[in-house]
Amino acid sequence: MEETSGGNHTKFLTEMNKKSYAFFYMLLKNLPGYEKEAAVYDYTDGRTTHLSDLTDAEYKGLCKHLEGIVHLDADRRKAGSRVLTLLTEMGFKTTDKKAWTEIDGFLSDKRIAGKRYRELSAQEHENLIPKLHSLKDKGYNRTNHEM
């Protein structure tokens, strides 16, 4: 750090060089189940669990990595919401465990998605939307199973 004759300037440079971890913690808050130590440990291949030990490049890379996960999760939620809306319009309920068993059974059919709802990625949700629209347009309703 550069020393100057003015104490305030030195303090300013020190403050400017300190890392702010607010962005990291904001991202982490949006990723339930992720813990700070585990995220840092994994990103540094076991070198450290402390944000303060990261280089600027590592910190930026870690934040970019977490940001990608947050966006993927947001995309998945958005597409999943569209799938659930269509399923509701087709007569499925999403209110209790029994109803989710029925939804998972329907989606697990190889002709539909081949997986349970929570196992579907954002892209698989997106791919499912046209199929569900088609079934709905053909008159499919879970209560009568007619098309």
Residue from 127, 124, 126, 147 nearest 137 by CA: 147
**Quick one: 80 and 119 in the same domain?**
yes
Task: Please tell me the distance from the alpha carbon of residue 140 to that of residue 138, in angstroms, as a whole number.
Answer: 6
How is residue 117 annotated by DSSP?
Answer: G
Measured distance CA(97)–CA(70) in Å, rounded: 27
Number of domains comprising the chain: 2
Q: Are residues 24 and 65 in the same domain?
A: yes
Query: 23-53 pLDDT, tens per residue?
Result: 999 888 888 778 899 889 988 999 999 999 9
| Full domain range(s) for residue 41 | 19-71
Specify the DSSP class assigned to residue 6.
Answer: -
Are 78 and 67 within one domain?
A: no
Do 89 and 124 have their domain in common? yes
Of 18 and 14, the structure prediction assigns the larger pLDDT to 18
Say how far apart CA 3 and CA 13 lie, in whole Å: 9
Query: Could you tell me if 65 and 84 lie in one domain?
Result: no
Query: Do 67 and 99 belong to one domain?
Result: no
**Please, where are the H alpha helices in 1-147?**
7-17, 22-29, 36-43, 56-89, 97-108, 122-137
Q: How far is CA 144 from the centre of its chain?
A: 35
- Give the residue carrying structure tokens 């709905």: 136
The predicted-structure confidence for 81-121, as pLDDT tens digits, reads as follows: 999 999 999 999 887 778 889 999 999 999 999 999 988 88
